[in-house]
Structure 1
Amino acid sequence: MTDTEKIDQILLKMESFATKDDLKVFATKDDLKAFATKDDLKAFATKADLRHETNLVLEELDSTEQRLNRRIDSTNKDLQELRQYVTAVRYNNEIVEILMKRQDNVEQRLQKVERKVLCS
């Protein structure tokens, strides 16, 4: 093999090597130093931690829902009692009106009777 062939063969192999431009996108020493260490990673939350926190949030939501449901039930009960009271007051007002009309009727009849007695 001649020297020229050897040089051509070396150049062919070098074509697959990274160029300066290719190396610019690789991480630098400073970039590598900035990566998280094992100790840094240990400080991150584990799946169990996240599951526990999620369960705490869900339990609190459930508790809040139960409190709201109790308050809604209580409010519905109060509203039902208020409706019953309003209905009772309406009936009482109607009864009072009927009694007042009857009293007026009785008074008119009494006046007629008194006139007849006085006139006779």
Structure 2
Amino acid sequence: MSCCDSSSCCPAPEIFQEDFCGNFSGALAAEEVWSAPAGAYIAGTFQLFNSSGSTGTVTAAGAALPAIALSAAPGNTDSQSVNNPTSFTITAAAGDSGTYCITLYKRVLA
């Protein structure tokens, strides 16, 4: 029996948070802006802002549980929290622009 078979001698895992944001400008057809290998992150929050100067709705999608599905009309923001994210794509028409922000959570052993 090893030491880590008992919770009394092994450190508890810690949750590490990563935040990053970016800008986008159309035309984009499911442009991948982030990806990670399966199991790399335990959870994430994805946010999509569509500039008020845009003329159409901007969408985003991604692989996660549940699947990422965002839609923002001009001047609006949409966000979604998910488990096990692995990809994030944005679709925008020519002339549409905005920002995206991603907060990711990873379990690490201390």
User: TM-score under structure 1 normalisation?
Assistant: 0.17
User: TM-score under structure 2 normalisation?
Assistant: 0.18
Larger Rg: 1
| Higher RCO by CA contacts (8 Å cutoff, separation 6 or greater) | 2
Higher strand share: 2
Higher helix share: 1
